[in-house]
Structure 1
Amino acid sequence: MTTSTGGDLAIVGARLRTLTGENETATALLIRDGRIAALGGDAEIRAAAETAGIEVRDLAGATVTPGLFDSHTHPHWAADVTAGVDLGGLGTIAEIREALAAEHARLPEGAWLRGWNLEYEPFEETGMRGDVLADAAPGRPVALVCYDLHTGLGTAPALAAAGIDGAREFDDASEIVVDADGTPTGELREPTAYQILFDAAPAPSHEVERDGLRDMFRRLAAAGLTGGAIMDGKDRTVELLAELEERGELDHRVTVHHWHAVGDTDEDVARVIAAKDRAGRLWDTGAIKLFSDGVIDTGTAWLHTVDACGDGRVPFWPSWERYAEVVRAYHDAGMLIATHAVGDYAVSRVLDVYATLPERPGVPFHSIEHLEVLADEDVEQLKGSGITASMQPLHMQWRAADHSDNWTVRLGPGRDATGYRVRSVLDAGVGVVLGSDWPVAQYDPRLGMAWARGRHTPGDPSAHVFEPEQRLTGEEALLAYTLWPARARGHEDRGTLAVGSVADLTVWGADPVEATPDELVETPIVLTVLEGRVIHEG
């Protein structure tokens, strides 16, 4: 990783994807004080740079695009969650036990064993139970979280350390799952429940937490990302961002969506609103994240009709009227609201609430996050709503061509075709932005774009294509990571290569629009540039 100082740079010898419809023949650009000062031919820009004593990078045929922005991500959370053992791709309980046993042997006595990326399919016969894993790490607290961050799993020592000894009532739809006799099984549904478990584990030091977030941002830069919307913001997140920027170690442009919990009071809302204008050079905080439902896999998504297990008709909020009150308060305060809505009915009900909000001239409208399944009537309701649809087609990676995956089975026969309808949403005139939901799915935007365009496993042209009619074009996928998220947040100086635009750039080894989805995931990231600073060099 190479980090330059200052914000002046010249790039020549490149193809520029300006996304403005202008300067399409330009091959070079000049950056002064973190902003694009000129676009033109190589000789012109080189001469201007040399006169001003500015470094010139000859990129010999690379393609420059505006910097990529992940519209739904959790880097602060990920820095903590991914500190454990990665259980992704382990398809049986025996494989999971083997991985936990190896980690158990490595850890010192008394340490907690943490794991992430756990999948649901291995537990189809037993149910999500901690006791089926207990012998992998005898006596040691084991705390795991599923890949979607909606379910935790703990063994008996971990549950005991956290004081989890029975069912509890929560303000939201979270649940400590118990047996018939009231004994916890180890399954903890939704964050309010499983956070009790993880809060009991030893916390990292301030320095470890801060440096972990710094290093996480640098990992994102290596994949071409220059910024993102943090969807689980808290006061601690803001404090760390401010400290990193003060230390000159913040290499990411961030919007922090404060996570509003269902149980938050009017006083909590007022406190968040009072701090809404807190910002730095590279970060701001005037945004909110709420949940309307959970996920398909656990039966907590809010659906028009019940799923195959008879679930799916319960919202995350005991009082939907309270959700509407909270949304109105944040709306009136001028904040940008993002609401998680996976189920089709959840999308419809959120749209109902958003439709009651008064206009705010000059202020961008709100988003719905995921829109994972949509009935035709929901697509119709989206028309003219003014919302931004923040979607993640790469979450289709857990689907199976034979319909045997947990998501499809749980949703019910024939309903998988209503999933990830990004083309339908776009054709309905709705603004679309793409993201990863990292660490739910991989943060690499090349994967995100490839799934949106190909709707099959990237790198395998023979792989099954899910709903091919829902594919995006190469240009649309790029726009959904650049210009469209900038516009959705009201930024006129981001998401394009134009004079006056912020010089956040992603430099590719080949044109990401012309590359096939299968080629895209292997396309090198040559440079990642933030405000004219090279924050990654491949």
Structure 2
Amino acid sequence: MPAPTGGDLAIAGARLRTNMECEPDRTATALLVRDGVIARLGSDAEVRAEAEAAGIPVRDVAGATVTPGLFDSHTHPHWAAEVTAGIDLGGLGTVAELREALAAEHARLPEGAWLRGWNLEYEAFEGEGMRGELLADAAPGRPVALICYDLHTALATAPALAAAGITGGRDFDDASEIVVDASGAPTGELREPTAYNLVFDAAPKPSHEQEREALRDMFRRLAAVGLTGGAIMDGREATVGLLAELEERGELDHRLTVHHWHAVGDDDEAVARVIANRERRGRLWQTGAIKLFSDGVIDTGTAWLHRPDACGDGRAAFWPSWERFAEVVRAYHDAGMLIATHAVGDYAVNRVLDVYAGLPGRPGLPFHTIEHLEVLSDADVEKLRGSGVTASMQPLHMQWRAPDCSDTWATRLGEERAATGYRVRDVLDAGATLVLGSDWPVAQYDPRLGMAWARGRHTPGDAAAHVFEPEQRLTGEEALLAYTLWPALARGHADRGVLAAGAVADLTVWGADPVTAEPDELPEIPIRLTVVDGRVVHEG
């Protein structure tokens, strides 16, 4: 097949938010795209004349606002395409509600099919604990495998455990765990991917064509909310192969960086293989990036904290050997790769910063990121200052917090430490680069919701909703920059995140200005056009 090429397009009648400190022409209302690259900005008349002379179609957007394309700095679209094929269990807060939903799905499914569910919340099991037997009678005899909303815990019934050959506990290279009862029998709770993937790997798999089409359709869903690209944080060989195939077929509607997921048990040979493949890329996708874990999540007690949580947990790293973590980071760093490390707990952030600080300089290459940073002490924030580290955060995840601190997250942390959550303003004031994302399918992928939470820190659209740490709110301009220019700069891309001649033509066209709109209005602003590489991939 011929190599993919970019599109030709002109947009007129717009309000342009260029993200340029020194805009070449503040009166510009139009832009021209040739072969996927912005060729010029100018007046409607200038751009229209040049476009018509070249036979390039002109879209008049009648006063809409054009911004650089929105980039989700932490997403899992390939995983989400698989996970969300099951039943959505979000908002079901009791075991009775879960049983009712599972029974309805059981009645719908053909005999022999697995019952899969996602978005499971911990609160339903606060009284009796996470045990598969609590749900078994909702789907008698059928394997049931459910994954929690944070993707760190799964729950399986006895038939699913049997299919995976799980009869008791096991030792893992990382902090994963098959939870067992006093007799050593598995309860069905499986903590962290190495443990729960035993079950999901035993479930029936879609065909290659089904998997490819599901990923294609996932990117189209993301484009419909204005996203033009993202950082895939669970990359594997299958992901790279599917992206290459979609691009060859002309069906890739997203610009992507694939972070290879490094497992704790990966040896030096595995590291060498990843490094050897670091230059794989297409027109719209690239590898050369790594994802590691330093800890788990607060809700299960696996986040790494400065002091134990209310249950006495939180003082263990994801890695049995922190020295091995540092060795792996150094190997990928020396190979010129971009490293993203999951660090939810404050002590995890602190320790990862120490490892990063010990790395030698790499002139001309971007520095590494830390993902999530859900809680930070004042010392951790100060340690970010001057580190060069990018903080990749998701204020959207505050949607699971309760104003009275009765949620699992705040109960474990305590009210005082919960108030140190999602300190995006403090991170910015410390001079760190801030980028925002969703962690989809952990939270909703819509960047309008992400911006609304970052700016309002309360449930969007609810005027009476509690505002969490109002002093941490971002401005409208900061929220947009954290989805456009700042991710580009953090990844060393001078031709992204701006509207300027020579920049790639990834564009989001809004029905209103996302900077001046009130936070509560953001989720309702229509997306008029989403443009990737000069091609309209969504029109609203």
Does TM, normalized by the shorter one, top 0.5? Answer: yes
Task: Answer whether contact 1:5 1:533 (CA < 8 A) is retained.
Answer: no
- The answer to whether 1:328 aligns with 2:330 is yes
Counterpart of 1:26 (choices 25, 28, 33) is 28
Match of 1:491 in 2: 493
Task: Answer whether contact 1:394 1:451 (CA < 8 A) is retained.
Answer: yes
CA separation in 1, counterparts of 2:502 and 2:325? 40
Match of 2:178 in 1: 176
Counterpart of 1:437 (choices 427, 430, 439) is 439
SS at match of 2:410: helix
Task: Answer whether contact 1:72 1:437 (CA < 8 A) is retained.
Answer: yes
1:328-350 per-position Cα deviation (integer Å, ceiling 9, x unaligned): 00000000000000000000000
SS at match of 1:414: helix
Kindly provide the amino acid, as one letter, of the partner of residue 244 in structure 2. A
Kindly provide the amino acid, as one letter, of the partner of residue 145 in structure 2. A
CA separation in 2, counterparts of 1:458 and 1:232? 29
Match of 2:125 in 1: 123
TM-score w.r.t. the length of structure 2 is: 0.98
Match of 1:316 in 2: 318
Kindly provide the amino acid, as one letter, of the partner of residue 301 in structure 1. A
| Structure 1 runs, 4 residues or longer, greater than 6 Å off | none
Counterpart of 2:69 (choices 67, 78, 84) is 67
Match of 1:446 in 2: 448
Kindly provide the amino acid, as one letter, of the partner of residue 209 in structure 2. E
Matches within 5 A, 1:270-349: 270-349=272-351
Kindly provide the amino acid, as one letter, of the partner of residue 321 in structure 2. S
Kindly provide the amino acid, as one letter, of the partner of residue 10 in structure 1. A
Kindly provide the amino acid, as one letter, of the partner of residue 277 in structure 1. E
Report the Cα offset of residue 68 of structure 1: 0.3
SS at match of 1:176: strand
1:401-455 per-position Cα deviation (integer Å, ceiling 9, x unaligned): 1111111001123211010000000000000000000000000000000000000
Match of 2:464 in 1: 462
CA separation in 2, counterparts of 1:175 and 1:25? 59
SS at match of 1:433: strand
Match of 2:352 in 1: 350
Matches within 5 A, 1:78-157: 78-157=80-159
- The answer to whether 1:17 aligns with 2:17 is yes
CA separation in 1, counterparts of 2:76 and 2:249? 22
1:380-418 per-position Cα deviation (integer Å, ceiling 9, x unaligned): 111111000000000000001111111100112321101
Task: Answer whether contact 1:12 1:46 (CA < 8 A) is retained.
Answer: yes
CA separation in 2, counterparts of 1:6 and 1:119? 42
CA separation in 2, counterparts of 1:455 and 1:341? 21
CA separation in 2, counterparts of 1:389 and 1:318? 25
SS at match of 2:286: strand
1:440-498 per-position Cα deviation (integer Å, ceiling 9, x unaligned): 00000000000000000001122100000000000000000000000000000000000
Match of 2:46 in 1: 44
Report the Cα offset of residue 67 of structure 1: 0.2
Task: Answer whether contact 1:17 1:24 (CA < 8 A) is retained.
Answer: no
Report the Cα offset of residue 150 of structure 1: 0.2
Matches within 5 A, 1:157-168: 157-168=159-170
SS at match of 2:119: strand
Kindly provide the amino acid, as one letter, of the partner of residue 56 in structure 1. V
Match of 1:531 in 2: 533
Match of 1:7 in 2: 7
Report the Cα offset of residue 287 of structure 1: 0.1
Task: Answer whether contact 1:18 1:24 (CA < 8 A) is retained.
Answer: no
Task: Answer whether contact 2:5 2:36 (CA < 8 A) is retained.
Answer: no
CA separation in 1, counterparts of 2:366 and 2:117? 39
CA separation in 2, counterparts of 1:6 and 1:374? 43
Match of 1:424 in 2: 426
Match of 1:360 in 2: 362
Matches within 5 A, 1:247-258: 247-258=249-260
Report the Cα offset of residue 25 of structure 1: 2.2
SS at match of 1:30: strand
Match of 2:405 in 1: 403
Task: Answer whether contact 1:341 1:371 (CA < 8 A) is retained.
Answer: yes
Kindly provide the amino acid, as one letter, of the partner of residue 13 in structure 2. G
CA separation in 1, counterparts of 2:416 and 2:94? 27
Kindly provide the amino acid, as one letter, of the partner of residue 515 in structure 1. A
TM-score w.r.t. the length of structure 1 is: 0.99
Kindly provide the amino acid, as one letter, of the partner of residue 440 in structure 1. V
Flag structure 2 segments of 5+ consecutive residues without an equivalent: none
SS at match of 2:305: coil
State the Cα RMSD in Å: 0.9
Task: Answer whether contact 1:14 1:61 (CA < 8 A) is retained.
Answer: yes
Kindly provide the amino acid, as one letter, of the partner of residue 214 in structure 1. R
Counterpart of 1:372 (choices 360, 374, 378) is 374
1:200-221 per-position Cα deviation (integer Å, ceiling 9, x unaligned): 0001100000000000000000
Instruction: Give the count of matched residue pairs.
Output: 535
Kindly provide the amino acid, as one letter, of the partner of residue 432 in structure 1. L
Matches within 5 A, 1:502-521: 502-521=504-523
Kindly provide the amino acid, as one letter, of the partner of residue 10 in structure 2. A
CA separation in 2, counterparts of 1:49 and 1:36? 12
CA separation in 2, counterparts of 1:56 and 1:273? 44
Report the Cα offset of residue 5 of structure 1: 9.2
CA separation in 2, counterparts of 1:102 and 1:175? 30
